[in-house]
Amino acid sequence: MNPESELDWEGCLNVRDLGGLGGIRLGALVRMEAPTRLTAAGWAAAWEYGVRTVIDLRNSDEISPDDSPRPAGINTVEVPQDPIGTPFHEYWTKIDNLSSPLYFPAMLTTHPEPLIAAVRTIARAEPGCIVFHCAGGKDRTGLLALVLLALAGATPEEIIADYLLTYERMEVRYAAMGAGDQLGKVERLLEQHDTNVQESLTATIASLTMPAFLLENGLAAADLALLLDRLTK
């Protein structure tokens, strides 16, 4: 990863700029875990970096107050990604609790609408850097990152490495929560389905034809043009 992509915002562990992957420019998109733990200094660093929009991919019942107030000029937009109340959500909650790349292809095929809504929000956001996050910044954040990186021409190797980096970054937090080795748990789950993280993500990436996937699932051509300008210029 480009050293300039490494961001140290006090209070959070999993903050990185996607610039340098594919054609994405630095300062366009930052992925992270929920910014709830950011300190005042952490929010100041985000503001100084140019962040003006935060896209929250969590469900409303997951959201808790921030430890420190967000700068008044940062706009927060909630775009929940889990299709709660659907047969899909009931089924995959039993399979992997929507916490592994195993559900990614089915989500893109069956319920692309939440992801398209997030992409549209990015395209239409006010000028400035955009942060997007879920709870740990791994799967909902990871799927959106995968789609954006695929659009921007990142290689499968780059996309997979970016996804796996979250496990490394969040290891200390998982340990403090008593959650143990999360990557090991996911690998064992995927092994039961005759795959692994790399193979599962590679299959998801290969299934995407860009930008056709976005356009065929409801993203307007004008929004696609805005998105590409935002990511690359």
Question: Rounded to the nearest 5°, which phi and psi values hold at 210?
Answer: -105, 140
The count of domains in the chain is: 1
Q: What is the pTM of this model?
A: 0.96
Residue tagged 């929507």 (tokens): 98
Q: What is the pLDDT of residue 175?
A: 81
Q: What is the pLDDT of residue 1?
A: 65
Q: What is the pLDDT of residue 233?
A: 87
**CB proximity list for 147: less than 8 A, separation 6 or greater:** 108, 115, 119, 208, 213, 214
Cα R_g (the chain), whole angstroms: 17
List the CATH number of the domain containing 25.
Answer: 3.90.190.10
Whether the link from the prior residue into 105 is cis, omega within 30° of 0, is: no
Q: What is the pLDDT of residue 45?
A: 98
Q: What is the pLDDT of residue 176?
A: 82
Q: What is the pLDDT of residue 138?
A: 96
User: From residue 87, how far is each of 106, 112, 114, 135 by CA, in Å?
Assistant: 12, 15, 15, 23
pLDDT in tens, 125-143: 999 999 999 999 999 999 9
Domain span at residue 128 reads 3-232
Q: What is the pLDDT of residue 173?
A: 86
Which residues does the chain have with pLDDT short of 70? 1
Q: What is the pLDDT of residue 56?
A: 98
